[in-house]
Homo-oligomer: A and B are copies of this chain.
Amino acid sequence: MHAETLTPERILNATVDVLRRYGPNKATVVDVARELGVSHGSVYRHFASKSALLDAVAERWLAEISAPLDDVLQRQDRSVAKLRAWLECLMHTKQQRASQDPQLFATYSGLVLGLRQVTDQHVAHMIAQIERLVHEGVANAEFVVNDANATATAIWHATARFHNPLFVAAWSEPSLAAEFEAVWELMINGLLVR
């Protein structure tokens, strides 16, 4: 197994295993190197510091979660349907990962919540996608909006219960779907041209 080329991908996978075992505070680059059967110098050749390594793990996870959202933005459909599909895609991706492997989800989300800059960039990217949908809806004469960025920010925060890992315990509640419908209806009433 040590004969395989040491790729960034393999280092990130080994880091996830180490994080799962020791958590982000106790895990070290030496643990990651040991997991791979290489020297820590070999790991540092790809990632300059533990901090760079953790950022890369968190960014890869967030990129995996947001990848299917890009496809939703490309669809030809009414903006209201695209906004609904975008939110459902985001919620389902996270909720599925949380239910399939709760401990891995807790490892990743605990890591991400502690990395302020990575989280801020991800949230800005998500709000920018919603803002694009809001602009589209205004251009289609579906939505009436004063400030598309404020509206997108509001949609992001108003739906936190359904996509923010802080609420993972609520995601297995039978009331979750009805709660989302209630929030969706309130938001969309405020957006749609009447």
Contacts and interface: CB of A to CB of B under 8 A. Distances in A.
Given A153-B179, A166-B167, A179-B153, A158 B186 contact: yes
A185 interface: yes
A187 B190 contact: yes
A25 interface: no
Contacts of A155: 186
A187 to B, nearest CB: 6
A161 interface: yes
B194 A191 contact: no
A157 B161 contact: yes
Contact of A190 (B153, B181, B186): B186
A151 interface: yes
Nearest to A116: B169
A185 B146 contact: yes
A150 B160 CA distance: 17
Contact of A166 (B150, B166, B191, B194): B166
A52 interface: no
Contact of A183 (B154, B167, B182): B154
Nearest to A144: B189
Nearest to A181: B150
